[in-house]
């Protein structure tokens, strides 16, 4: 499997003269991963908020036909999805890709599984929120399994977090850490889950939350612009 270091490298963008923009929402854990990585790399691109998540116009999502966020626009180029956005973002900084520990660089089954579990948990969180919080639909077999899947992922991550983080290179920005933190912080914001029985995750949130990138990107809802009609 090729690593980020093995991948073809692109020239670093002239940040001073090339517009960089994140398209997403301040309330999105996927968007927050990209925003936090940018700050960890020393840049702070503006966020272009997506106000209407029910829009079926790909233009709302920077052209993404899947109608999903986030996206990253660099000059005339656009990358869809948080992982692609993170990678394109890192390429805008001299040596940025090498400073990040990417999921495909995991070499042990534990690290591979950790990335799989946190990725799934982030997706399950979105589905739970839409079913239970946004749509307010009654529970069904699928929604009950989805919630149990999310809770099971959290329990597994709590049980293995020490061993997982011991295998992450301390000198690099671990995308796993950013993803886990953004997921855990999103729970009380949109889908209250009791983490009191998950001490490793609770301690991780408290410790990682002291980082400047975390403090600068709190979850909040983007206020839509005033109605142009004045009504």
How would you label 200-228 residue by residue, b for 16+ Cβ within 10 Å and e otherwise?
bbeebbeebeebebbeebebeeeeeeeee
Average pLDDT estimate for 13-22: 78
Residue range(s) defining the domain that contains residue 44: 20-100
pLDDT digits (tens, 9 = 90+) for 203-230: 999 999 999 999 999 999 999 888 644 4
Residue-wise pLDDT for 145-173, tens only, equals: 999 999 999 999 999 999 999 999 999 99
**Tokens representing 42?**
């020393």
Give the domain CATH number at 201: 1.20.1050.10
Q: Could you tell me the pTM of the whole model?
A: 0.90
Dump pLDDT digits (tens) for 122-131.
999 999 998 8
For residues 126 and 58, state if they share a domain: no
213 vs 198: CA distance, rounded Å: 24
Same domain for 24 and 91, yes or no, is: yes
* Residue 8 resides in a domain: no
Instruction: Check whether residue 36 and residue 132 sit in a common domain.
Output: no
126 and 42 in a common domain: no
Same domain, 52 and 124: no
Is residue 29 classed as helix, strand or coil in its secondary structure? helix
pLDDT at 95 > cutoff 50: yes
Q: Choose the final residue of a domain: 84, 100, 116.
A: 100
Shared domain for 71 and 121, answered yes or no, is: no
| Strand segments (E) across the chain | 20-24, 47-49, 71-74, 77-80, 100-101, 173-174
Q: Is 79 found in the same domain as 35?
A: yes
Look up the CATH number of the domain holding residue 57. 3.40.30.10
Asked whether residue 83 falls in the same domain as residue 140, the answer is no
Span 53-69, mean pLDDT?
A: 97
Longest dimension (CA), the chain: 58
The rounded distance, in Å, linking the Cα atoms of 100 and 210 is 20
First vs last C-alpha separation in the chain: 56
- Using DSSP's 3-state secondary structure scheme, residue 11 falls into coil
Does residue 115 share a domain with residue 80? no
- 73, 100, 127 - which closes a domain: 100
| Average pLDDT value for residue range 181-197 | 94
In the listed set 65, 100, 135, which residue is the last one of a domain according to the structure?
A: 100
Instruction: Note whether 96 and 110 are same-domain residues.
Output: no
Same domain as 82, residue 114? no
Q: For the chain, how many structural domains are there in total?
A: 2
Q: What is the reported pLDDT for 1?
A: 30
Mean pLDDT for 132-140 is 87
pLDDT reported for residue 192: 86
């Amino acid at each position: 499997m090729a690593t980020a270091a093995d991948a073809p490298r692109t020239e670093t963008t002239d940040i001073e003269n090339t517009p960089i923009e994140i398209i997403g929402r301040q309330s999105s854990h996927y968007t927050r991963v990209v925003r936090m990585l940018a700050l960890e790399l020393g840049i702070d691109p503006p966020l272009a908020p997506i106000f209407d998540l029910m829009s079926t116009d790909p233009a709302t999502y920077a052209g993404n036909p899947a109608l999903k966020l986030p996206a990253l626009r660099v000059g005339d180029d656009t990358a869809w999805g948080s992982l692609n956005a993170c990678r394109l973002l890192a390429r805008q900084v001299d040596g940025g890709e090498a400073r990040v520990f990417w999921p495909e660089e995991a070499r042990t089954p534990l690290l591979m599984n950790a990335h799989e579990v946190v990725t799934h948990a982030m997706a399950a969180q979105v589905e739970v929120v839409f079913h239970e919080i946004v749509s307010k639909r009654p529970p069904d077999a699928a929604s009950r399994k989805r919630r149990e899947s999310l809770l099971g992922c959290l329990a597994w991550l709590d049980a293995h977090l020490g061993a997982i983080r011991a295998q992450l290179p301390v000198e690099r920005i671990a995308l796993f850490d950013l993803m886990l933190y953004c997921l855990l912080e999103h729970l009380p914001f949109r889908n209250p889950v009791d983490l009191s029985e998950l001490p490793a995750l609770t301690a991780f949130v408290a410790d990682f939350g002291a980082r400047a990138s975390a403090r600068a990107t709190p979850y909040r809802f983007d206020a839509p612009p005033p109605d142009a009609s004045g009504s």
